[in-house]
Chains A and B, each alone.
Chain A
Amino acid sequence: MSQRVGIIGFGQTYHRSRRDDVTGIELINEAVRSALEDAELTIKDIDAVVIGNMDHFEAVNYVDTWSVDGSGAWMKPLIKLTTGGTTGSTLGIAGYHHAASGLFDVVLVIGWEKNSESDTTGAIITCSDPIFDRFSFSGALPGLAVEASAYIKRYGITEEDAARVAVRDRTHGANNPYAQLQTPVTVEEVMKSPMLSWPIKLLDICPRSDGAAAVIFAGERKARQMCPQPAWVHSTAVRHSHAYFCDVNYEELHTLEGAVRELYDHVGIKEPLKELDVVELYQPYSFAGLKWIEAMGLCKPGESPRLIWDGATDMGGELPFNPSGGVICTNCIGATGLLRIGEAALQVMGRAAGRQVPDVNLALATGFGGAYWSDLMLLGRRPW
């Protein structure tokens, strides 16, 4: 029988540009231990394990079976999911469905990546169709640059507007001891940073990280027993699309528009800017922090710079974004979406320490990846 589900524990590694002191399996184990400790559970309490990453970043086939020594999945139900950049959010959503299905009560979900072990762009290029796209598609950066330039052209937004988004996340990242980048930057510094692919400059875009995240989901009865304030899952929504990058409409992120419409309708959100309390946005580069919040219905198309410059999305603003510093401060790709969910859960549980937003009732976590795919999970203080 289906059941309501809450997040009862979250653990993560201290994310770094490289972690030569551990293997991937040992990195996974750090996050698992941290999550078990956070939830005050032992591995015996875990009924099933969900794990994922992106295969070609570490060249491990069947990561689920390879990593059993670190994940704690020995003699447990174990499954692997992977969807590119959305992998972490895909994993979180799978953890929810594992428990919500009633088949399992306590589910450990792990996302991880050791991006230091390969050429990130080289691996990403292989996601494009080998016959029609691969000779021309050159990784994540140019695709995002095309999206940004189309957006600039249509609404006349400026590179400074985007820089202000990066400044926000880097400022927030200074509050997060787990973040890879913890030093604030200024708009001037972003503007002066090396141009990578116009209009994206070095400080507009995420780093690549070694790190892991683990989130524990539990069915309602166990969640209430095990945790004083679970972060209850209210709804999830996912939109993937397209096999070819030439099919993507770079003017609109229609997957995010479709997913938020479904999610808002499902839970009855009419004015997201007012009703949501915090957002952990999978925002791999600064321009997304403008265009995508319009896709989320926070303001009219082209009007996001006003929200950004007014500080509406800063800590202390009307709807704080990325108190953790977000993807711009840490990007261990298979973990990134799950970090959004874990950080959103901390906000709902009131356990985000130096990055806590006061009185969070509803927190939204998103995922982005693939051919401009979008994932969403809404968490709340009371069960849905």
Chain B
Amino acid sequence: MTDIAIVGAAQTPYQRCRDDANFAEMIYEVTCGALADAGLGISDIDNFITVSNDFWDGRTISSMAVQDACGSSFEGGRNVSTVEGDGTFGLLYGMMRILSGAYQTTLVVVHCKGSEGNMRQITNGMFDYIYTRPLGIEAIGAAALQARRYMDSYNITEEDFAHVSVKNRGNALRNPHAQLAAEMTVEEVMASKPIASPLKLHDLSPISDGAAAVILAHRNVADKLGRKPVWVKGIAHCSEAHFLGDRDLAEAPALRDASRRAYQMAGIKKPFAEIDVVELYDAFSYMEPLWLEELGFCPRGKGGELARLGATAFDGPVPVNPSGGVLSAHAVLVAGLARVIEAALQVRGEAGERQVEGPVEFALAHGINGPCGQSHCVVILGE
């Protein structure tokens, strides 16, 4: 349990190409949206965190583009910092800056336009330049190595992964922000174009443009606002080794470690029984079951059964990615904060058509950095 609450949030719809707005205009859109959601004005914000990536933006000091738009230079300027990584890490640092006693409120903004760069060149750039980059490997090829390792370690099948795509793209039909929403069958996923075996087109998330904003507040402020606060009950992050060959890609020990610390903060002992809804960073279909194993929702190697048996379905015992997840909209960096926003909406009971059944006492959101989920951040939200 912490003294920090989410008191406002906004996200853009996610699209393949947002050519009607630049980064600053997208950030202005979500900044205004989050302030309106919180019932606050820009003068009420005393701390800002922008999240961006110089490679995706094609710009050194990419945060420069959004300083005016998020309001950090309002009235002569406020305290501000920039995280480069997934939006969940921006949320985490924003929280720290309130917990340190320095600030009362924090606006966290994140943007990315996948449409403006070459995703394969940009993700090739995250690998070591002596041993790995010359091979031409990038995010998809690396993920395929992980998917194969995971399948072969536990006799998980491509059909198990296909069930995840079917579920999440189906869930996206209830989410007006989603980019890819469709009624699909396992057969359609299996028959989709091979990309990098065992991954096929419908195992992949799309390339998206979008932005998101969250306003955090200390208990002192949050309790006085009209809107019901969503509390950050637990949060933790962790990274493992970089070289793919240093890791057993069928496991994610960093996620295991981060989730256990987040659970401890939140007082959660049995995640499957206690957590009511989960929003995961499923950049590829295989990631959802792998992450769920390491989050302790099932024994190791049993993740493949969860979607197949309906345990993670919208109306199942633990709905996972009722928003459609990253498989349905993947603005890089934004996607983790979008998971947080979706989880917060579920806690508020304001997720509209995608609201899961029953009260949501605990919701889990999750973000990743680096190849094959090298680094993870786990966020537990609750009433």
Instruction: Tell me the A residues contacting B by CB distance below 8 Å.
Output: 2, 23, 52, 54-56, 59-62, 64-69, 73-84, 90, 93-94, 96-98, 100-103, 123-124, 126-127, 129-130, 236-243, 247, 254-255, 258, 369-371
Contacts and interface: CB of A to CB of B under 8 A. Distances in A.
Contact of B79 (A69, A130, A238, A254): A238
Given A75-B253, A237-B79, A241-B73, A64 B61 contact: no
A94 B100 contact: no
Contact of B239 (A61, A65, A240): A65
A66 to B, nearest CB: 6
Interface string B10-49: 0000000000000010000000000000000000000000
Given A59-B129, A77-B239, A243-B64, 14 more contacts: A54-B54, A54-B61, A55-B53, A61-B126, A64-B375, A74-B239, A78-B238, A79-B93, A81-B82, A82-B63, A100-B101, A243-B65, A254-B76, A370-B61
B59 A65 contact: no
5 contacts: A60-B125, A64-B375, A66-B128, A80-B369, A126-B59
A96 B102 CA distance: 11
Nearest to A79: B89
Interface in B77-132: 77-85, 89, 92-93, 95-97, 99-102, 122-123, 125-130
A237 B79 CA distance: 6
A39 to B, nearest CB: 21
B257 interface: yes
A190 to B, nearest CB: 29
Interface residues of B, number: 62
Contacts of B127: 66
Nearest to B100: A100
B346 to A, nearest CB: 25
B67 interface: yes
A69 B236 CA distance: 21
A83 B237 contact: no
B241 interface: yes
Contacts of B275: none
A236 B100 CA distance: 12
B102 A236 contact: yes
B81 A94 contact: yes
A84 B96 CA distance: 22
A64 B81 CA distance: 17
A161 B84 CA distance: 40
B81 A255 contact: no
A65 B83 contact: no
Contact of A76 (B76, B239, B369): B239
A158 to B, nearest CB: 31
A61 B125 contact: yes
Contacts of B369: 62, 64-65, 80
Contacts of B77: 239-241, 254-255, 258
A68 B254 CA distance: 13
B259 interface: no
A56 B96 CA distance: 28
A61 B122 contact: yes
B176 to A, nearest CB: 30
A186 to B, nearest CB: 35
A243 B369 CA distance: 26
A129 B65 contact: yes
Nearest to B243: A69
Given A126-B60, A243-B65, A68 B241 contact: yes
A254 B76 CA distance: 8
A67 B64 CA distance: 25
A310 to B, nearest CB: 32
Contacts of B92: 79
A77 B238 CA distance: 4
Nearest to B239: A78
A80 B60 contact: no
B2 to A, nearest CB: 9
Contacts of B85: 62, 64, 79-80
A77 B72 contact: no
Nearest to A257: B76
Interface in B178-232: none
Given A66-B126, A75-B239, A370-B64, A82 B73 contact: no
A75 B238 contact: yes
- Which 4 A-B pairs rank lowest in CB-CB distance, beginning with the nearest? A65-B370, A100-B100, A101-B99, A84-B61
B102 A97 contact: yes
Given A61-B125, A65-B375, A93-B81, A78 B237 contact: yes
Contacts of A84: 60-61, 64
B237 A75 contact: no
B240 interface: yes
B132 to A, nearest CB: 10
Nearest to B3: A1
Nearest to B65: A243
A62 B254 contact: no
A222 to B, nearest CB: 16
A93 B100 CA distance: 11
A75 B72 CA distance: 34
A74 B53 CA distance: 22
A90 B97 CA distance: 12
B68 A100 contact: no
Contacts of B238: 75-78
B24 A78 contact: no
A242 B239 contact: no
Given A61-B122, A64-B369, A81-B81, A123 B76 contact: no
Contact of B81 (A60, A68, A78, A90): A90
B69 interface: yes
Contact of B60 (A55, A68, A90, A100): A55
Nearest to A82: B84
Nearest to B132: A66
Interface in B353-383: 369-371, 374-375
A242 B71 CA distance: 10
B242 interface: yes
A62 to B, nearest CB: 4
A242 B369 CA distance: 28
A83 B81 contact: yes
Interface string B232-250: 0000111111110000000
A214 to B, nearest CB: 17
B99 A55 contact: no
